[in-house]
Copies of this chain bind each other. A is one copy, B any other.
Amino acid sequence: MRRFAADRARRAVAASLRGAASRSAAPSPHAPPPRHPASPMGAAAMAAAMARAMSTAAAGAPPVSLDTINPKVLKCEYAVRGEIVTHAQNLQQELQKNPESLPFDEILYCNIGNPQSLGQQPVTYFREVLSLCDHPALLDKSETHALYSSDAIERAWQILEKIPGRATGAYSHSQGVKGLRDEIATGIAARDGFHASGDNIFLTDGASPAVHMMMQLLISSEKDGILCPIPQYPLYSASIALHGGSLVPYFLDEETGWGLEVDELKKQLEEARSKGITVKALVVINPGNPTGQVLAEENQKKIVEFCKNEGLVLLADEVYQENIYVEDKQFHSFKKIARSLGYTDDDLPLVSFQSVSKGYYGECGKRGGYMEITGFSPEVREQIYKVASVNLCSNVSGQILASLVMNPPKAGDESFESFMVERDGILSSLARRAKALEEAFNSLEGITCNKAEGAMYLFPRLHLPQKAIGAAQAAGTAPDAYYAKRLLEATGIVVVPGSGFGQVPGTWHFRCTILPQEDKIPAIISRFKEFHEKFMDEFRD
Contacts and interface: CB of A to CB of B under 8 A. Distances in A.
A417 interface: no
A394 B205 contact: yes
Contacts of A164: 117
A420 interface: no
A342 interface: no
Interface string A464-477: 11100100110011
A165 to B, nearest CB: 6
A170 B29 contact: no
A463 B34 CA distance: 12
Interface stretch (A181-189, A323-331, A501-509): A501-509
Nearest to A273: B51
Given A34-B507, A64-B313, A208-B391, A366 B116 contact: no
A305 to B, nearest CB: 12
A526 to B, nearest CB: 23
Contacts of A3: 271
Indicate the member of A135, A169, A363, A387 with the most B CB atoms within 10 Å: A169
Q: How many copies does the complex hold?
A: 2
Contacts of A119: 165
A58 interface: yes
A209 interface: yes
A63 B311 contact: yes
Given A16-B499, A395-B395, A397-B395, A64 B367 contact: no
A124 interface: yes
Contact of A270 (B29, B49, B380, B506): B49
Contact of A505 (B9, B168, B387, B396): B9
B503 A16 contact: yes
A408 B255 CA distance: 58
A293 interface: no
Contacts of A220: 69-72
A311 B62 CA distance: 7
A189 to B, nearest CB: 23
Contacts of A362: 169
Contacts of A206: 391-392
Contacts of A174: 81
Interface string A6-32: 101110111011111111111111111
27 contacts: A17-B234, A19-B497, A21-B478, A25-B506, A26-B469, A29-B541, A36-B504, A44-B270, A59-B309, A59-B311, A63-B313, A64-B218, A68-B280, A69-B217, A76-B386, A81-B389, A112-B171, A118-B165, A127-B135, A130-B134, A144-B147, A146-B146, A170-B365, A205-B395, A208-B391, A239-B390, A395-B397
